[in-house]
Amino acid sequence: LTNNKPMSDFTVTQQPFNEISRLPNNTQYNYSWPIPFFWKNYRTYHIDHTTKLKWMIPDYYHCPSHSASKSALSPKREPTNFALHWDLGNTDSKTFMRVEYDDVAYARLMKQLKTRRDKDFGIDDKVILIADQLAFAKHNEELGKPFSFKKTLDLISTIIPGNDSYAIFKITQGVIDRMEKYFMDGPDYPLFKKGMQEWLTENYKKLGYTVSDIWDPE
């Protein structure tokens, strides 16, 4: 999802998550059926809390990595003074897909998430945001490509504190376990533990636990 213009609409281009050569040679699963793409944005959601729907045709020949043509989504928008508009794709996690945001779209989305986390974003939205960023990082790691968990950690540090949702904590637990393996034997492990404490202190307090560095008596 690209949203990097002051006044223009966002656009969506599609491509397979995995390389075609790595997928089963089975025409039953050839991505030839329409994909329902739900989204919400700054313009109307704060007024009526409704989401929008656009059907996308996910054919391989429309994918930017295999063809010059692109599937684009451009909802009509009246001129507005809101230059830094935000858009969220795959609202409520209704579709089996991953949404990757360009840097500007991601920054705008994060700004909204930090200011109206529990007003404009449901539990499903928060879970899929973390899950998508984790999936992209893991995917690049498995392919031997450059990868980073920075966006995943940004989302966790924004979403998890004080949030008592089991689903959100479940997806976060997988990230924490994975990240701990990277940091455990390195010099930054104390910094990682401090980050963990910041993320989880409010949650533990809600459960009646006393946050302490002394594990045995507590």
Query: Is there a domain that residue 115 lies in?
Result: no
Place of tokens 């980073």: 148
Report the residue count for the chain: 218
| Cα–Cα distance for residue pair 147/127, rounded to 1 Å | 20
pLDDT digits (tens, 9 = 90+) for 53-108: 777 665 554 444 433 333 333 333 333 333 457 788 878 777 778 888 888 889 98
Q: Tell me the whole-structure pTM to 2 decimals.
A: 0.67
In terms of residue numbers, what domain contains 141? 122-218
* Domain final residue pick, 66, 100, 134: 100
Q: Is residue 96 domain-shared with residue 132, that is, in the same domain?
A: no
Q: Is residue 178 domain-shared with residue 217, that is, in the same domain?
A: yes
pLDDT digits (tens, 9 = 90+) for 137-176: 888 888 888 888 889 989 998 998 888 888 888 888 888 8
> How many C-beta neighbours within 10 Å does residue 1 have?
20
Torsion sign over Cα 82, 83, 88, 89: positive
8 A C-beta contact, residue 10 and residue 105: yes
Q: Is residue 1 domain-shared with residue 91, that is, in the same domain?
A: yes
Q: Is residue 128 domain-shared with residue 93, that is, in the same domain?
A: no
> How many C-beta neighbours within 10 Å does residue 30 have?
14
